[in-house]
């Protein structure tokens, strides 16, 4: 029997039940028993896996969701980790990757790294960068650990190449995206249908079990959908990624 913490956050008991239901469905056919039995204060989901196919199930969960490290030294082994934005200040953007023992430790992405990776090294305030790229609390990000100071419990990271490629592809598509955090895929789809906003949407891209990016049709302003869709997703948080605004700000008239 193994107990692991998935790189999945929930925001309510109903979402915890959905995780349990999803695990049982995803692992159907394997000789395993799963039980979601604890949620850490920050929303991380912990599950117990037991049975003949335990190793196969754990490999699938690691590939599909990722597993949280328990200690800073565990993060050193992972190097690439999925986390969720917690906050930012002038110096850094902070990401919770699930380190909770002996204390909760957020990974720091210094402003200088984000400037180099996202805005061609321009000395831009982090607040402006977060607005341009839709960085808000609980947004999932994949990070790459670059240094660990065990004495001060400080972990420094950059955005992973996978994360950077996501933003490059979003920019090249020229499509606005409405980012929804804290709602299931079915709930997002239902909200679009009820408000008849689905006619303005190309597709809904999962960023996690309860995080999604709604890709709008060319010419549709994602921010304009917030008043309608937001009423049907009252417990979720919404932000916008707009390639047009980003390109105009930097005078990028073409994307290679």
Render pLDDT for 16-29 as a digit per residue (tens, 0 to 9): 999 999 999 999 99
Render pLDDT for 182-239 as a digit per residue (tens, 0 to 9): 999 999 999 999 999 999 999 999 999 999 999 999 999 999 999 999 999 988 999 9
Q: So what's the pLDDT on residue 80?
A: 87
Q: Is residue 254 predicted with pLDDT exceeding 50? A: no
Query: Per CATH, is 174-249 categorized as 3.30.70?
Result: yes
Gap between the Cα atoms of 187 and 120, Å rounded: 37
Q: Residue 18's CB: how many other CB atoms inside 10 A?
A: 19
- Binned at pLDDT 50, 70 and 90, residue 255 comes out as very low
- Binned at pLDDT 50, 70 and 90, residue 253 comes out as very low
Q: So what's the pLDDT on residue 64?
A: 87
How much of the chain exceeds pLDDT 70, in percent?
94
Beta-carbon contacts of residue 179 (< 8 Å; ≥ 6 apart): 134, 136, 139, 207, 211, 212, 213, 214, 238, 239, 240, 241
- Return phi, psi of residue 14, to 5°: -65, -35
At the top level of CATH, which class does the domain 72-160 belong to? Answer: mainly beta
Q: So what's the pLDDT on residue 66?
A: 87
Gap between the Cα atoms of 139 and 240, Å rounded: 11
Domain ranges of the chain: 2-64, 72-160, 174-249
Q: Is residue 163 predicted with pLDDT exceeding 90? A: yes
Render pLDDT for 49-75 as a digit per residue (tens, 0 to 9): 999 999 999 999 998 888 888 666 655
The mean of the pLDDT values for the chain is: 90
pTM over 0.75: yes
The torsion defined by the Cα of 73, 36, 64 and 176, in degrees rounded to 10, comes to: -100
Q: Is 17 helix (H, G, I), strand (E, B) or coil?
A: helix
CA-CA distances (angstroms) from residue 15 to 160, 190, 226?
28, 16, 22
Render pLDDT for 109-153 as a digit per residue (tens, 0 to 9): 999 999 999 998 999 999 999 999 999 999 999 999 998 888 888
Q: Is residue 256 predicted with pLDDT exceeding 50? A: no
Gap between the Cα atoms of 73 and 187, Å rounded: 38
């Amino acid at each position: 029997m193994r107990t692991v913490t998935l790189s999945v956050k929930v925001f309510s008991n109903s979402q915890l039940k959905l995780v349990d239901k999803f695990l049982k469905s995803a692992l159907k056919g394997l000789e395993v028993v799963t039980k979601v039995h604890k949620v850490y204060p920050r929303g991380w989901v912990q599950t117990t896996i037991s049975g003949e196919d335990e190793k196969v199930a754990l490999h699938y969960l690691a590939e599909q969701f990722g597993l949280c490290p328990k200690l800073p030294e565990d993060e050193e082994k992972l190097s690439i980790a999925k986390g969720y934005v917690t906050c930012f200040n002038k110096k850094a953007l902070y990401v919770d990757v699930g380190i909770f023992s002996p204390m909760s430790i957020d990974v720091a992405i210094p402003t200088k790294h984000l400037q180099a990776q996202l805005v061609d090294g321009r000395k831009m305030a982090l607040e402006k960068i977060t607005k341009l790229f839709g960085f808000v609390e609980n947004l999932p990000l994949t990070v790459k650990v670059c240094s660990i100071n065990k004495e001060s419990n400080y972990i420094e990271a950059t955005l992973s190449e996978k994360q950077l490629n996501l933003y490059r592809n979003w920019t090249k598509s020229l499509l606005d995206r409405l980012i929804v955090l804290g709602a299931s895929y079915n709930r997002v789809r239902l909200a679009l249908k009820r408000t008849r906003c689905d006619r303005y949407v190309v597709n809904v891209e999962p960023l996690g079990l309860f995080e999604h990016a709604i890709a709008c049709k060319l010419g549709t302003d994602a921010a304009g959908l917030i008043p309608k869709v937001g009423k049907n997703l009252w417990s979720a948080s919404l932000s916008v990624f707009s390639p047009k605004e980003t390109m105009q700000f930097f005078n990028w008239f073409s994307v290679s």
